[in-house]
Amino acid sequence: MNLIVDAGNTRVKLAVFEKDTLVEVIFIDENELLSEIKKILKKYKITAGILSNVGFIAEYKMQKLQNLVNLLVLSSFTNVPFNNLYETVETLGVDRIALVAAAVKKYAKRNILIIDAGTCITFDFVNDQSEYLGGAISPGIEMRYKALHDFTSKLPLLEKKIAQNFIGMNTNESINSGVVNGVINELEGVISQYKNKYSDLTVVLTGGDTNFLAKQLKSSIFANPNFLLEGLNEILIFNKNK
Protein backbone atom coordinates (compact mmCIF):
# COMPACT_ATOMS: atom_id res chain seq x y z
CA MET A 1 0.00 0.00 0.00
CA ASN A 2 1.14 3.55 -0.72
CA LEU A 3 1.33 6.46 1.73
CA ILE A 4 0.78 9.94 0.31
CA VAL A 5 1.82 13.05 2.27
CA ASP A 6 0.61 16.33 0.79
CA ALA A 7 1.87 19.30 2.84
CA GLY A 8 0.08 22.30 1.36
CA ASN A 9 0.10 25.98 2.26
CA THR A 10 -2.53 25.70 5.00
CA ARG A 11 -2.88 22.04 5.99
CA VAL A 12 -1.55 18.52 5.53
CA LYS A 13 -3.38 15.69 3.79
CA LEU A 14 -2.45 12.09 4.41
CA ALA A 15 -3.78 9.41 2.08
CA VAL A 16 -3.48 5.67 1.69
CA PHE A 17 -3.82 3.97 -1.71
CA GLU A 18 -4.15 0.30 -2.59
CA LYS A 19 -2.67 0.47 -6.10
CA ASP A 20 -4.94 3.05 -7.84
CA THR A 21 -7.71 2.94 -5.24
CA LEU A 22 -7.95 5.63 -2.57
CA VAL A 23 -8.56 3.91 0.76
CA GLU A 24 -8.44 6.75 3.29
CA VAL A 25 -7.82 10.50 3.51
CA ILE A 26 -6.96 12.37 6.72
CA PHE A 27 -6.72 16.15 7.17
CA ILE A 28 -4.33 17.22 9.93
CA ASP A 29 -2.33 20.14 11.27
CA GLU A 30 1.41 20.08 10.67
CA ASN A 31 2.16 19.43 14.38
CA GLU A 32 0.19 16.15 14.16
CA LEU A 33 2.16 14.83 11.22
CA LEU A 34 4.50 12.35 12.92
CA SER A 35 1.93 10.93 15.34
CA GLU A 36 -0.69 10.41 12.60
CA ILE A 37 1.78 8.70 10.29
CA LYS A 38 2.73 6.32 13.12
CA LYS A 39 -0.97 5.44 13.44
CA ILE A 40 -1.24 4.81 9.70
CA LEU A 41 1.83 2.56 9.74
CA LYS A 42 0.23 0.47 12.47
CA LYS A 43 -3.08 0.27 10.60
CA TYR A 44 -1.82 -0.46 7.07
CA LYS A 45 1.04 -2.38 5.49
CA ILE A 46 2.74 0.56 3.79
CA THR A 47 5.38 -0.45 1.24
CA ALA A 48 6.15 2.94 -0.34
CA GLY A 49 5.45 6.62 0.15
CA ILE A 50 5.75 10.05 -1.45
CA LEU A 51 5.94 13.54 0.01
CA SER A 52 4.82 16.77 -1.64
CA ASN A 53 6.04 19.69 0.46
CA VAL A 54 5.43 23.27 -0.63
CA GLY A 55 7.88 24.49 1.97
CA PHE A 56 6.74 24.62 5.58
CA ILE A 57 7.85 21.23 6.94
CA ALA A 58 11.13 21.81 8.78
CA GLU A 59 14.22 19.84 7.79
CA TYR A 60 14.49 18.06 11.15
CA LYS A 61 10.90 16.85 10.82
CA MET A 62 11.59 15.68 7.28
CA GLN A 63 14.40 13.52 8.66
CA LYS A 64 12.11 12.04 11.31
CA LEU A 65 9.59 11.23 8.59
CA GLN A 66 12.23 9.41 6.57
CA ASN A 67 13.14 7.40 9.65
CA LEU A 68 9.53 6.23 9.90
CA VAL A 69 8.96 5.41 6.24
CA ASN A 70 11.06 5.72 3.10
CA LEU A 71 9.46 8.61 1.22
CA LEU A 72 10.10 9.75 -2.32
CA VAL A 73 10.37 13.54 -1.94
CA LEU A 74 8.80 15.08 -5.02
CA SER A 75 10.90 17.75 -6.75
CA SER A 76 11.47 19.19 -10.20
CA PHE A 77 14.06 16.43 -10.74
CA THR A 78 11.67 13.53 -10.04
CA ASN A 79 10.78 11.27 -12.97
CA VAL A 80 7.23 12.06 -14.15
CA PRO A 81 4.92 10.48 -16.77
CA PHE A 82 4.78 13.55 -19.01
CA ASN A 83 7.07 15.85 -20.99
CA ASN A 84 7.64 19.03 -18.97
CA LEU A 85 8.10 22.01 -21.33
CA TYR A 86 7.93 24.66 -18.60
CA GLU A 87 10.75 27.16 -19.16
CA THR A 88 11.75 27.36 -15.47
CA VAL A 89 11.22 23.78 -14.33
CA GLU A 90 13.07 24.35 -11.05
CA THR A 91 10.47 26.95 -9.98
CA LEU A 92 7.42 24.83 -10.82
CA GLY A 93 5.47 23.91 -7.69
CA VAL A 94 5.41 20.22 -6.81
CA ASP A 95 1.63 20.44 -6.37
CA ARG A 96 1.28 21.50 -9.99
CA ILE A 97 3.56 18.66 -11.11
CA ALA A 98 1.34 16.15 -9.30
CA LEU A 99 -1.83 17.58 -10.84
CA VAL A 100 -0.45 17.16 -14.34
CA ALA A 101 0.55 13.56 -13.56
CA ALA A 102 -3.03 12.85 -12.49
CA ALA A 103 -4.36 14.43 -15.68
CA VAL A 104 -2.25 12.39 -18.10
CA LYS A 105 -3.15 9.23 -16.20
CA LYS A 106 -6.91 9.77 -16.03
CA TYR A 107 -7.48 11.63 -19.30
CA ALA A 108 -4.82 10.20 -21.60
CA LYS A 109 -4.34 11.79 -25.04
CA ARG A 110 -6.60 14.74 -24.29
CA ASN A 111 -6.09 18.49 -23.99
CA ILE A 112 -6.61 19.14 -20.28
CA LEU A 113 -6.91 22.29 -18.20
CA ILE A 114 -6.52 21.66 -14.46
CA ILE A 115 -7.83 24.35 -12.12
CA ASP A 116 -6.67 24.03 -8.53
CA ALA A 117 -8.72 26.34 -6.30
CA GLY A 118 -6.90 26.52 -2.99
CA THR A 119 -4.73 29.12 -1.28
CA CYS A 120 -3.87 30.22 -4.80
CA ILE A 121 -5.83 29.41 -7.93
CA THR A 122 -3.55 27.70 -10.42
CA PHE A 123 -4.29 26.89 -14.04
CA ASP A 124 -2.22 24.12 -15.66
CA PHE A 125 -2.46 22.89 -19.23
CA VAL A 126 -1.26 19.60 -20.71
CA ASN A 127 -1.92 18.78 -24.34
CA ASP A 128 -2.98 15.55 -26.04
CA GLN A 129 0.69 14.63 -26.54
CA SER A 130 1.28 14.59 -22.75
CA GLU A 131 3.26 17.82 -23.01
CA TYR A 132 2.93 20.22 -20.09
CA LEU A 133 3.01 23.79 -21.41
CA GLY A 134 2.37 25.87 -18.27
CA GLY A 135 -0.57 27.95 -17.10
CA ALA A 136 -1.27 30.74 -14.63
CA ILE A 137 -1.32 31.60 -10.93
CA SER A 138 -3.93 33.83 -9.29
CA PRO A 139 -4.93 34.71 -5.69
CA GLY A 140 -7.33 32.25 -4.08
CA ILE A 141 -10.71 33.14 -2.59
CA GLU A 142 -9.55 33.45 1.03
CA MET A 143 -6.51 35.45 -0.05
CA ARG A 144 -8.78 37.96 -1.82
CA TYR A 145 -10.95 38.44 1.25
CA LYS A 146 -7.84 38.94 3.40
CA ALA A 147 -6.32 41.39 0.94
CA LEU A 148 -9.41 43.61 1.02
CA HIS A 149 -9.27 43.64 4.83
CA ASP A 150 -5.50 43.95 5.26
CA PHE A 151 -4.89 46.65 2.68
CA THR A 152 -7.78 48.93 3.64
CA SER A 153 -8.65 50.64 6.90
CA LYS A 154 -12.35 49.83 7.18
CA LEU A 155 -13.35 46.82 5.08
CA PRO A 156 -14.25 43.81 7.27
CA LEU A 157 -12.76 40.33 6.96
CA LEU A 158 -15.52 38.02 5.74
CA GLU A 159 -15.86 34.31 5.19
CA LYS A 160 -16.70 33.10 1.71
CA LYS A 161 -20.36 33.09 0.81
CA ILE A 162 -22.21 32.62 -2.45
CA ALA A 163 -23.23 36.03 -3.77
CA GLN A 164 -27.01 36.12 -4.11
CA ASN A 165 -26.89 39.16 -6.39
CA PHE A 166 -24.04 40.59 -8.44
CA ILE A 167 -25.20 44.04 -7.30
CA GLY A 168 -24.17 44.34 -3.64
CA MET A 169 -26.71 46.38 -1.65
CA ASN A 170 -24.35 46.86 1.33
CA THR A 171 -20.63 46.57 2.04
CA ASN A 172 -20.67 42.89 2.96
CA GLU A 173 -22.70 41.97 -0.12
CA SER A 174 -20.41 44.12 -2.27
CA ILE A 175 -17.32 42.30 -0.97
CA ASN A 176 -18.91 38.89 -1.52
CA SER A 177 -19.98 39.88 -5.00
CA GLY A 178 -16.56 41.26 -5.86
CA VAL A 179 -14.65 38.26 -4.58
CA VAL A 180 -16.92 35.34 -5.47
CA ASN A 181 -18.37 36.64 -8.73
CA GLY A 182 -14.90 37.87 -9.63
CA VAL A 183 -13.47 34.37 -9.22
CA ILE A 184 -16.35 32.72 -11.09
CA ASN A 185 -16.00 35.09 -14.02
CA GLU A 186 -12.23 34.64 -13.98
CA LEU A 187 -12.58 30.87 -14.19
CA GLU A 188 -15.21 31.04 -16.92
CA GLY A 189 -13.05 33.52 -18.85
CA VAL A 190 -9.91 31.40 -18.65
CA ILE A 191 -11.82 28.25 -19.65
CA SER A 192 -13.25 30.16 -22.62
CA GLN A 193 -9.75 31.29 -23.69
CA TYR A 194 -8.50 27.72 -23.73
CA LYS A 195 -11.61 26.40 -25.50
CA ASN A 196 -11.16 28.97 -28.25
CA LYS A 197 -7.81 27.33 -29.01
CA TYR A 198 -8.58 23.74 -27.95
CA SER A 199 -12.22 22.98 -28.76
CA ASP A 200 -11.99 19.45 -27.33
CA LEU A 201 -10.76 20.71 -23.95
CA THR A 202 -11.29 18.65 -20.78
CA VAL A 203 -11.51 20.78 -17.61
CA VAL A 204 -10.78 19.44 -14.13
CA LEU A 205 -11.53 21.47 -10.99
CA THR A 206 -9.81 20.49 -7.77
CA GLY A 207 -8.54 22.00 -4.50
CA GLY A 208 -10.12 23.07 -1.23
CA ASP A 209 -12.76 25.27 -2.85
CA THR A 210 -13.87 22.64 -5.38
CA ASN A 211 -17.35 22.05 -3.96
CA PHE A 212 -17.96 25.75 -3.34
CA LEU A 213 -17.13 26.71 -6.92
CA ALA A 214 -18.32 23.70 -8.92
CA LYS A 215 -22.03 24.37 -8.40
CA GLN A 216 -21.61 27.97 -9.53
CA LEU A 217 -19.75 27.34 -12.79
CA LYS A 218 -21.67 27.10 -16.04
CA SER A 219 -18.83 25.43 -17.95
CA SER A 220 -18.71 21.66 -18.16
CA ILE A 221 -16.08 20.40 -15.72
CA PHE A 222 -14.97 17.31 -13.82
CA ALA A 223 -14.82 18.14 -10.10
CA ASN A 224 -12.36 16.03 -8.10
CA PRO A 225 -11.09 17.34 -4.74
CA ASN A 226 -8.61 14.42 -4.48
CA PHE A 227 -6.95 14.94 -7.87
CA LEU A 228 -3.62 16.03 -6.35
CA LEU A 229 -3.47 12.94 -4.16
CA GLU A 230 -4.15 10.75 -7.18
CA GLY A 231 -1.34 12.49 -9.05
CA LEU A 232 1.13 11.92 -6.23
CA ASN A 233 0.19 8.26 -6.14
CA GLU A 234 0.66 8.01 -9.91
CA ILE A 235 4.16 9.55 -9.66
CA LEU A 236 5.04 7.09 -6.89
CA ILE A 237 3.86 4.12 -8.98
CA PHE A 238 5.68 5.48 -12.04
CA ASN A 239 8.96 5.67 -10.13
CA LYS A 240 8.52 2.25 -8.49
CA ASN A 241 8.19 0.71 -11.94
CA LYS A 242 11.25 2.45 -13.40
- Residue 82 in 3-state DSSP? coil
**Structural domains for the chain:** 2-73 (3.30.420.40), 83-232 (3.30.420.40)
- Residue 39 in 3-state DSSP? helix
- The overall average pLDDT reported for the chain is 92
As separate numbers, helices (DSSP H) first and strands (DSSP E) second, the chain gives 8, 11
Active site members: 95
Residue type, 21: T
Average pLDDT over residues 140-158: 96
Of 134, 84, 119, 35, residue with least CA distance to 235: 84
Instruction: Please say if the pLDDT value at position 77 is more than 80.
Output: yes
- What predicted TM-score, i.e. pTM, was given to this entire model? 0.91
Of 222, 183, 186, 218, residue with least CA distance to 202: 222
Contact predicate 101/231, CB 8 Å: yes
Among 49-58, 78-87, 189-198, 210-219, the range scoring the smallest mean pLDDT is 49-58
Give the DSSP letter of residue 133. Answer: E
